[in-house]
Amino acid sequence: MELIITEKENAARRIAEILSDGAATAERENGVNVYRWGTKRCMGLSGHVVGVDFPPEYADWRDVEPAELVEADVVKSATQENIVATLRKLARRADEATIATDYDREGELIGKEAYELIREETDVPVDRVRFSSITDREVREAFANPDEIDFDLAAAGEARQVIDLVWGAALTRFLSLSARQLGDDFISVGRVQSPTLKLIVDREREIQAFDPEDYWEIFGDLQGDDAAFEAQYFYDDDGSEAERVWDEATADSVYEDLAALDAATVTSVRKRTRTDAPPEPFNTTAFISAAGSLGYSAQRAMSLAEELYTAGYMTYPRTDNTVYPEDLEPDELLDEFVGSRAFGEDAESLLEQDEIAPTEGDEETTDHPPIHPTGELPPRGELDDDEWEIYELVVRRFFATVAEPAKWAHLRVVAEAAGHSLKANGKRLLEPGYHAVYPYSSASENVVPAVSEGDSLSMSDVTLEAKQTQPPRRYGQSRLIKKMEEFGLGTKSTRHNTIEKLYDRGYIEGDPPRPTTLAEAVVEAAEEFADRIVSEEMTAQMEADMSAIASGEATLDAVTTESREMLERVFEELADSREEVGDYLQESLKADKTLGPCPECGEDLLVRRSRQGSYFVGCDGFPECRFTLPLPSTGEPQVLDERCDDHGLNHVKMLAGRDTFVHGCPRCEAEKADETDDEVIGACPECGADHDGELAIKRLRSGSRLVGCTRYPDCEYSLPLPRNGDIVVGEDRCEEHDLPEISIVDDEDDDDPWELGCPICNYAEYQARNAIDDLEDLNGIGGATAEKLAAVGIDEPADLRSVEPDEIAANVQGVSASQIEDWQAELAD
C-alpha cells in the first residue's frame, strides 16, 4: 500500500481525485478522512500536527523565572492526536510513502514531521513530490518524478519554530508578570511581531508630532473655443515649478490681480505621447496590495488565494518570483479562457496581438512561479463572491502582463495674465493596451481642449483656497507588508499572519491599523529597557540566518544557539528594570481603561471585568469607594476619545462584530434609566393569572431596553427592545396577547416609523426568522463552505459548538479561526 500525505484535508481530496481519475472514496478513521483507490491511501494533515514546547516543569508562569526559558530544552509533541494516530496506523500498513505537502519552508517542515512519525513506525521508502499548482498536469508530473525531502529547508523552518518559541515565551512571561497581567490579558511579545508593531507605533508618532503649515492655491477657469478647463497658478521656485504659496499676503496679491482680469494669453503648448507599461506578474506582496485595493485584509486575501490554489484554479500564492518560467506558454494559457463568458473576449483579443511577450519583474526565484491562473476555469456558481473576485483579479493580472502597453496623449497648456502664470495638464488615452483587460489600474482622462500659442482665453471663477499640509498617512495592511519586506521582517508566508496576530492581541485596531495605548506602552517600555526586542535589524539578521540554514551554509544548532545568546543579553539588560517596566506598563494599561473622575471620591473610574467575565465601570479607589456603573452585556468595551460634557467621562464603544455600537457615557445611560418610569402595557403571560404580574417597558442602567415583568426577579419573563429610538405605545392591541402595538420613531420628523407591533408576536417572528436549522443559516456560510465543513465532520450547527476554531481553520481552506468563533457566538445567541 502506498501512503500519500498532504498538508491539509482539502488538498488530499483534490489530489486523490486527480490520481484516481475521480474513483477515490473517503473513509473515516479517528475522525480523519482517508481517500482510498486501489492500493493507495491519501490523507491530509492539519498543517503542523506536531508542535514544539517546553517540558511540563516549565509550564507554571509563577514558579519559573522567565530567564530560565532562555536555556530550557525544547520538546516535540502531537498537537492533533487523532491525525497523528491515523498517520501512524496507516504507516504501519504501508509499503511506501509520499510526502505531498506545500512546496515552501513551512511545507517542508510539515513534511519532515510526517516523515519522522512514519520512521517511528516503519523504514519503508519515503519520497517527496513538489508542485506549484494542484492541477491534473502538475500533480501527475510531480508523482511521476518524485524527489527527496530537503532536510536543510525543513531545518530552517524548525529553527524559526524554536527561536519564536523561546523569544516569545520568555519575553511574554517577563512583561506579563512584571505588569501583573495574566490569564487572557497577558502581554504578548514576538520576534517578528514586536518590530512590526514598532513600525506602526513609529508612524503614529510621526502623525502626532506633525505640525501643519498653512499654504494657499489659486485656480481659475479658462474658456477656449471648444470647452472650458481649470488651470492652476504656479511660480518659479529655484528652477522648479511650485503651486503652493506659503505667504498669505503674496497669495492675496496674486488672487486680486487675477480676479480683476477676464482673459489670459496662451504662452506655451506642449504635446507628447507617453507609453504606459503593463504591470509585472504578481508575487505575494503585490497580490496582497492589489487585493487590499479591493477591500480585502491581508489575511483574508491569502486565505482566499490558498483556497483557489487547493482547488486547482491558481498557482501557489506564496512566492517572491516576478518572472514567469520559460516553460510557461502564454498563448496556450490564454487559449484556455477562449469561450469563457467572463474572460473569453479579452483572451481572444490578446491572442490576436502580433507578439505575446510577458512582462518581468526584478525578482526571479526557482521555487514557485509568479501567481497566475492555471487554466482550469471554475464554474461561476462554484465560487462565492469573494472567491470569484480574487480569482478574477489573478486572471486579469495575468492578462495584463501579456497585454500591450497603453499610450497616452499629454497636453500641457501655460497661459499668462497680469504677469502671472497658470497651467493645465490634460491626458487622453489613445490606445488602452492592458487597461482594456485590467480595470484595477486608473485609466481616467483629464481633457484639456486644443489651443494655440497666442490665443486669448476668457478667464472666470478665480478662487483662492486656503489649505494645510497633511500628516503622513497610516500604513494600510498592504503598505505595512511592503515595509516589513523592506526591513526583512518575517517572510512572504508569515507577514499577513503577523498583522492578524497584532489585531487579535489588541495591539492595533481599525484599517489602516492604528496602535492602541497598550501597543504604544509595550514599544516604549522595550525601547527604554531592552531595545533589541523591537529591533528590526536583529529580526532581519535572524531571518538571514534561517535562509543560510536552508541553503546549507549554517546549521540549526548554530543559529538557535546564537539566538539564545542574543536573548540572554536582552535579559541582562532587563535584570534590574523589572519593577520599573511593570509600573510603566501598569500605568499605561490603566490609562487605556480610564473614563474620568468618580463622582463620589474623585479617583479614576475604570473599565473593569468581573469574575464572571462581564464588564462594568468601577472606582480605582476600591475598596474604600464602591461606586460602580453597569455596561452592556454584549461586546467588549473600548474607551473613546469623545467626552461627556455633563460628567467629564469618556464615551464607551462596545465591540461586538457586526453588532458593534456606541454605548456613550455610562453615567448618562444610568441616569436616564433612574429617571424613566416603567410603563405598564398589560398582563405578564407567565405569572399574570396567578400573581397579578404585569409587563412594563423598562430602561436598564446598562442602556438596554426591554419589556419585562414587574415582579422581577421573582418572574424573569422579558422581551428585548431596540436600543435606539423613541418607543411609542399605540392604541391598537394584539387580539391574541392583549398587548398594545409598539413603534420605534427616530425623531419628530420620522414619517416612516419601525412598526414592531405586539412585543410577544414580534419576538416570536424574530426567533423564527433567525432560527439556525442548518449550516447555511449562519452568516457567511454558503453551499461551498458548508461542503468544506462537512468534509471535516461538521454537518450541522450543533457540530460547531464544541470544535476548536484554530484546529478547524488549519484544516479548512478559506475559513479563519475568528469566523468560526463568530459562528459559535451566533449559535450561543
Q: Give CA–CA dist 489/535, Å, rounded.
A: 10
Crossing angle of the two packed helices 578-593 and 151-178, in degrees rounded to 10: 80
Q: Count the neighbouring beta carbons within 10 Å of the beta carbon of residue 195.
A: 26
CA distance 409 to 428: 5
- CA–CA distance, 266 with 456 (Å, rounded to integer): 6
Spatial distance between the Cα atoms of 146 and 123, rounded to a whole number of angstroms:
18
List beta partners, residue 625. Answer: none
CA distance 700 to 673: 5
Q: Kindly report the length of the chain.
A: 829
Q: How far is residue 633's CA from residue 630's CA, in Å, rounded to a whole number? A: 9
In the beta sheet, which residues pair with residue 615? 609
Query: By C-alpha distance, which of 144, 97, 140 is closest to 122?
Result: 97
Q: Catalytic residue, from 316, 324, 391, 584: name it.
A: 316
Q: Rounded CA gap, 69 and 321, in Å? A: 38
Q: Are 112 and 101 in contact (CB under 8 A)?
A: no
How far the first Cα of the chain sits from its last, in Å, is 48
Q: For residues 96-120, b (16+ Cβ closer than 10 Å) or e, as one string?
A: ebbbbbbbbbbbbbbbbbbbebbee
Report DSSP state, residue 64. S
Reply yes or no on whether 58 is catalytic.
no
Q: What single string gives the DSSP state of each residue in 338-396?
A: TT-TTTHHHHHHHHTSS-------S---SSSPPB-B-S-PPPGGGS-HHHHHHHHHHHH
Q: Which three cell numbers stand for residue 247?
A: 505667504
Cell, residue 382: 462554484
- The CA–CA distances, whole Å, from 260 to 328, 414, 458, 511 equal 65, 19, 12, 47
Question: What are the b/e assignments for 405-440, b being 16+ CB within 10 Å?
Answer: ebebbebebbbebeebbbbbebbebeeebbbbbbee
Whether the link from the prior residue into 713 is cis, omega within 30° of 0, is: yes
Coil, helix or strand at residue 669 = helix
Say how far apart CA 627 and CA 244 lie, in whole Å: 56
| Cα gap 739→697, rounded to integer Å | 12
∠ Cα 449 451 456 (to 5°): 120
Q: Which residues contact 295 (CB under 8 A, 6 or more apart)?
A: none
CA gap 300, 690 in Å, rounded: 56
Torsion angle of the four alpha carbons 432, 437, 442, 443, in this order, in degrees rounded to the nearest 10: 20
Contact (Cβ atoms closer than 8 angstroms) between residue 200 and residue 480: yes
Which residue numbers are catalytic?
A: 316
